[in-house]
Structure 1
Amino acid sequence: MQRSRSGWAAAVGFTVAMILLVTLAVSPGLDLFGLVVVATIAGAVSIFYFAFASGRFFTLAFANYLALYACVFVFFAQVNFLPNVSPWAINVGFMLPILTFMLGALRNRPQIQSIVSAEHLREQRSFWRPFLWLLPVLALGAATFAVPGHGLSTAWYDALFLGATGTTALIVLFVSREVAIFLLDTGLLFEDFFKRISRLVVPTFAFLTFYTLLIVVFACLYRIVDVYTVAPHFRIAGEVREIAFLESLYFSVITLSTVGYGDIVPTSDPIRVIAAVQIVLGVLLLLFGFTEIRRYTVEQEERERERQRRRSE
């Protein structure tokens, strides 16, 4: 039970953080809609976690898709309905598809639970089958673009909005089993991906060590050249002046990544030469770094296969 509580806390914590991030980005401050979003999604994740004994990786994938749903919902609501629709209709419309999905998933709990217990990917006969249900939902979303501009009353906007979200909820209810199993498969893939990523921690940190070393060394060079010579060597936000150390760090980062936003521009040949050398070294580091990470991964996979072969003998 302790393990379950710990996993639930981590899952819900990630979900709330993810949804808070989306909600605060869409509308500053937590209004009633923001609280409804957080509470609804956290509740859905909690119910699914305990009802199906799903792992934390599935929960992370589930939370990500719910956050994506929140983004799409806010987009269509803002573009086609706000500010004409009532706040209560917005809150109810957001909750409807999630609630019907949970009801449908609980209704098909035995079949879905068998997938969870199997702990392996379900064989799909058709790649597009899990996504076919999106077609009527997308068509419905496209149809809502015809709503604005007709001078309708708030009551009509509320009715059209709830009609659209209610229809989406019915579609989700009928395909909830397929969607839930697809999400479980996604969670298993996410878990496998995470295990592969965890094997790259050591070579990745070694690569980042060299990467940050180049950033710091060249940032110091930019600063030293600019300080210990007579004329400034940078144009910063349109002004030719001496570069600060934090600005030189920033310039070193964008130079090594070859981004070049243009807010800091070298104005002298010595600095241009140093920047060119840094860019070349950065490209070489990327080439050799990715090659070494790949080599390390292959070696780890070979060792893992060798251990499995020895255990099977």
Structure 2
Amino acid sequence: MTRATRKRLWRWLRSVGFTLGLSLLVAWGVGDQGQLLPVFVIGVAAFGLGLLYYLFPRGLHFAFGTAVGLALYASLFVVLGHAQFPDAPDWSRPPAFLLPVIAFLGAVWWRRVELAEVAERQEAADLDHLGHTARWLVFVSLVGLVCFILPVNRLAPGAQGAALLVAMGGIAGIVARAAREVMRLLVDVALIIDEIAGRTRHVAVPAVAFLLMYALLVIVFASAYRIADSLSVHALFHDRDGPTRLSYSDALHFSVATLSTVGYGDIQPQDDGVRVLASLEVVAGQLLLLFGVAEILRSRRARVGTRREEDEDLDPAPPDGHSPPPAAPDGHGAAGARSRFRRNPASSNTSNE
């Protein structure tokens, strides 16, 4: 197996794994909408991915965009259905979910020759095409806005199911007509995700360094909270049941909540000294965000620059990229000829004659 084949296989496995993994996650999440909808989400992901790979075998990268688009569509469908069609029968939800997907895949199949160039593009479009590419989203949003304006949720269950099918049928028509723009948007999203994923390896070391410094602050202040509580005669913290003694795991939980500034929940400080200590931890966390990240990135750039300078010192090269001819120790070569000419230019003229 050649290197190009292995690279292509890895990209295929990565795309398929990401698509199916995200589809399984979303299907599990929408499980409260009945037993059929999760099955349809997984089935649509598998069928759609297989069809797109069959039609555009050289467009492997767009699977990322397809997975993201399917996840967003499933989430918005659940939100819209729960808000405006709460009493719609269970039988109406799977076909309503399938209508836009079938319309899009059918349009892609019908226009597969025209869309091959879009699906196999290797570079994202510039921002000038964004308005034209995303224009179909305006019409889809208008359908959703009409559903929210009209009192559809007050209708009988059967009428809500019919209205849901009509609304999704309208979205299906919009998506089918704008299949090229939808495909272009999915490809652009996939290319951007792939580019970001390619750059993550360059920020891996700074990210790990930041996490280590963050964990150090959490551990130091958690130990301080635990020691202060153990040395105090009275409990310095309260939980839902009143005063409580802090275990080390509780101290870690309280330290993370303090440093992340998400707000106190089940454990709260009840002593002025602990409040001051918590305030210091918050300030330390803000300083880490403001200056720690910048210093980590600056130190990494400095190390990279130093390494490049060392490599240039070990292997210097002339500006034109060519190595100079070796000097002749016995006076031969270009340098020796120039030296002899300077010492006795007459002999050179005599020999030329």
- Using the size of structure 1 for normalisation, the TM-score is 0.84
Match 1:77 to one of 77, 81, 90: 81
Where 1:184 maps in the other structure, the secondary structure is helix
Residue 268 of structure 1 pairs with residue 250 of structure 2: no
Q: How many residues align?
A: 307
Cα distance in 1, alignment partners of residues 261 and 68 from structure 2: 31
Residue 258 of structure 1 pairs with residue 258 of structure 2: no
* 1:171 aligned partner: 174
Cα distance in 2, alignment partners of residues 252 and 298 from structure 1: 32
User: Could you say if the C-alpha distance between residues 117 and 172 of structure 1 is closer, same or farther in structure 2, counting changes exceeding 3 Å?
Assistant: closer
Cα distance in 1, alignment partners of residues 153 and 222 from structure 2: 55
Cα distance in 2, alignment partners of residues 47 and 293 from structure 1: 46
Determine if contact 1:61/1:187 at 8 Å carries over to the other structure: yes
Match of 2:144, as an amino acid?
A: G
> Which one scores higher on RCO, CA 8 angstroms, separation ≥ 6?
1
Residue 23 of structure 1 pairs with residue 27 of structure 2: yes
Determine if contact 1:100/1:170 at 8 Å carries over to the other structure: yes
* 1:53 aligned partner: 57
Instruction: Give the deviation of 1:250 after TM superposition.
Output: 0.7
User: Could you say if the C-alpha distance between residues 8 and 289 of structure 1 is closer, same or farther in structure 2, counting changes exceeding 3 Å?
Assistant: same
User: Could you say if the C-alpha distance between residues 17 and 290 of structure 1 is closer, same or farther in structure 2, counting changes exceeding 3 Å?
Assistant: same
Residue 128 of structure 1 pairs with residue 131 of structure 2: yes
Determine if contact 2:235/2:244 at 8 Å carries over to the other structure: yes
User: Could you say if the C-alpha distance between residues 42 and 295 of structure 1 is closer, same or farther in structure 2, counting changes exceeding 3 Å?
Assistant: farther
Residue 188 of structure 1 pairs with residue 214 of structure 2: no
Instruction: Give the deviation of 1:87 after TM superposition.
Output: 2.5
What do the CA deviations read for 1:54-82 (whole angstroms, capped 9, x no partner)? 66653223212211111111122222223
User: Could you say if the C-alpha distance between residues 77 and 119 of structure 1 is closer, same or farther in structure 2, counting changes exceeding 3 Å?
Assistant: same
Deviates further, 272-281 or 197-206: 272-281
- The CA RMSD over aligned residues, in Å, is 3.2
Residue 43 of structure 1 pairs with residue 42 of structure 2: no
* 1:282 aligned partner: 285
Gaps of 5+ in 2: 312-316, 322-353
User: Could you say if the C-alpha distance between residues 57 and 232 of structure 1 is closer, same or farther in structure 2, counting changes exceeding 3 Å?
Assistant: farther
User: Could you say if the C-alpha distance between residues 297 and 53 of structure 1 is closer, same or farther in structure 2, counting changes exceeding 3 Å?
Assistant: farther
* 2:165 aligned partner: 162
Instruction: Give the deviation of 1:4 after TM superposition.
Output: 5.7
Cα distance in 2, alignment partners of residues 258 and 208 from structure 1: 16
Determine if contact 1:200/1:293 at 8 Å carries over to the other structure: no
Where 1:235 maps in the other structure, the secondary structure is strand
Instruction: Give the deviation of 1:157 after TM superposition.
Output: 3.5
Match 1:93 to one of 93, 96, 102: 96
Instruction: Give the deviation of 1:158 after TM superposition.
Output: 3.5
Cα distance in 2, alignment partners of residues 60 and 206 from structure 1: 29
Instruction: Give the deviation of 1:31 after TM superposition.
Output: 0.8
Cα distance in 1, alignment partners of residues 50 and 304 from structure 2: 36
Cα distance in 2, alignment partners of residues 293 and 111 from structure 1: 48
Q: Percent identity?
A: 32
Match of 2:46, as an amino acid?
A: A
Cα distance in 2, alignment partners of residues 55 and 288 from structure 1: 42
Where 2:268 maps in the other structure, the secondary structure is strand
Instruction: Give the deviation of 1:115 after TM superposition.
Output: 3.6
Cα distance in 1, alignment partners of residues 291 and 128 from structure 2: 41
User: Could you say if the C-alpha distance between residues 26 and 61 of structure 1 is closer, same or farther in structure 2, counting changes exceeding 3 Å?
Assistant: same
Deviates further, 7-16 or 193-202: 7-16
Determine if contact 1:11/1:60 at 8 Å carries over to the other structure: yes
Equivalences for 1:160-239 in 2 at 5 Å?
Answer: 160-237=163-240, 239=242
